[in-house]
Amino acid sequence: MKFNTKTIHGGQEIDPAYGAVMPPIYQTSTYAQSTPGGHKGYEYSRTHNPTRTALEKSFASLENGKYGLAFASGMAAIDAVIKLLKPGDEVISTNDLYGGTYRLFTKVYEKFGIKFHFIGMENAKHIESYVNANTKLIWVETPTNPMLNIIDIASTANIAKKHDVLLAVDNTFATPYLQQPLNLGADIVMHSATKYLGGHSDVVMGALIVNSPKLAEKLSFLQNASGAVSGPQDCFLMLRGIKTLHLRMQRHCENAKVVAEYLKNHPKIENVYWPGFEDHPNHNTAKSQMRDFGGMISFTTKDNNYDESVRIVERLKLFVLAESLGGVESLSGHPASMTHASIPKEEREKTGVVDSLIRLSVGIEDIDDLIEDLNQALA
């Protein structure tokens, strides 16, 4: 089954009760048992729910994985991965990553004795120098948030396997439409499904997809024990959103290409970060592991002024100033004061997240209207 078909049919079955085409919303907390322990596969909805099961099968299908898990949020999914570790273990992480991930790693898990190394991963050989006997996990975002750096998943997977280390890839920006990390050797794929997978800015959810039955069992245990599950209504909305993922991503990519080229040629813009440019440092890696270059763009103005960048995002009308990304509507953000505010200024600026940086999530509106909106905001 090819990807465009998987978004609609992958892992899905017609409901056996009445033939419903869409999986019903099983809005129930518990299930009747004929005898203690005698049930039809479901006993309590924190552990399993039929609507969630349908979604988890869809997640697995999209990523060419065997097991999918639906979490209450992307952060809950990341939390479950870190709970695989123990005090004394070490993690090698991308240094340019979502601020919430950085906060979870440094403010929550460092005090439990887990050590994190935040490094540039654009050259995979740089990663291996940080691997030691205590290293248990390599955490990758690609493209990274918000600098749109590209990390070679296959090369990183080779390093992880050589040293018997888990490799987890945050695939939120790319989505399985553009790249499938399990095919490239990753052990775990994570999504903030809130973003492109849901695609309509109306549900918060996270996802993990794996191939290993042992890893799936451990993560399922942690999810059930911690209670970080998604509700049936949210699962239904996510299933609905996934059915148009391939159509939306195609338009996101088309629009982003036009916006990126417009910004690159604008006299007020200094730097534009988008992996589709041939002069992007890892453009060839992006071409080799991605189908297209995605809908995310970051840029800085020539005056490199905090106040002016804030004024630009305030003047935008169609690019709504808001947290998050990946919805059908275009969004703008100021990472230094919004999504990455939890990262200390000196650490942010080492990776290029300066005070003047603006991040765009390019939606699926008419491209002429988006360019006109940028024109008036930059005028």
**Is 369 a residue of the active site?**
no
Look at residue 356 and tell me whether its pLDDT is greater than 90: yes
The pLDDT value recorded for residue 177 is 98
The pLDDT value recorded for residue 305 is 86
Measure Cα distances from 41 to 45, 46, 209 in Å: 11, 13, 21
Measure Cα distances from 88 to 93, 102, 115, 136, 215 in Å: 16, 18, 7, 10, 20
| d(C-alpha 184, C-alpha 154), whole Å | 5
pTM over 0.85: yes
**Is 264 a residue of the active site?**
no
pLDDT digits (tens, 9 = 90+) for 188-228: 999 999 999 999 999 999 999 999 999 999 999 999 999 99
**Is 46 a residue of the active site?**
yes
Look at residue 341 and tell me whether its pLDDT is greater than 90: no
Look at residue 27 and tell me whether its pLDDT is greater than 90: yes
Mean pLDDT on 53-78: 98
Q: Determine which one of 98, 102, 177, 273 is catalytic.
A: 98
Indicate the CATH number for domain 3-242: 3.40.640.10
| d(C-alpha 128, C-alpha 326), whole Å | 32
Report the percentage of the chain scoring pLDDT > 90.
93
**The CATH number of domain 245-378 is 3.90.1150.10:** yes
Look at residue 37 and tell me whether its pLDDT is greater than 90: no
What stretches of the chain adopt beta strand conformation (E)? Answer: 67-71, 90-94, 115-119, 135-141, 166-170, 188-192, 206-210, 269-273, 296-301, 320-321, 331-333, 358-361
Strands 166-170 and 135-141: parallel
Q: Determine which one of 15, 31, 42, 46 is catalytic.
A: 46
Name the token pair of 308.
């002016």
Q: Determine which one of 136, 195, 248, 348 is catalytic.
A: 195
Q: Kindly indicate the confidence band of residue 343, based on its pLDDT and cuts at 50, 70 and 90.
A: confident
The pLDDT value recorded for residue 11 is 95
Look at residue 304 and tell me whether its pLDDT is greater than 90: no
The pLDDT value recorded for residue 218 is 98
Q: Amino acid letter at 156?
A: T
Look at residue 303 and tell me whether its pLDDT is greater than 90: no
Residue range(s) occupied by CATH 3.40.640.10 in the chain? 3-242
Look at residue 347 and tell me whether its pLDDT is greater than 90: no
Residue range(s) occupied by CATH 3.90.1150.10 in the chain? 245-378
Look at residue 311 and tell me whether its pLDDT is greater than 90: yes
Q: Kindly indicate the confidence band of residue 103, based on its pLDDT and cuts at 50, 70 and 90.
A: very high
The pLDDT value recorded for residue 115 is 98
- Give, in degrees to the nearest 5, the angle at Cα 183 between 213 and 285: 145
**Is 195 a residue of the active site?**
yes
Q: Determine which one of 152, 170, 187, 355 is catalytic.
A: 170
**Residues shown for the chain:** 379
| d(C-alpha 363, C-alpha 252), whole Å | 6
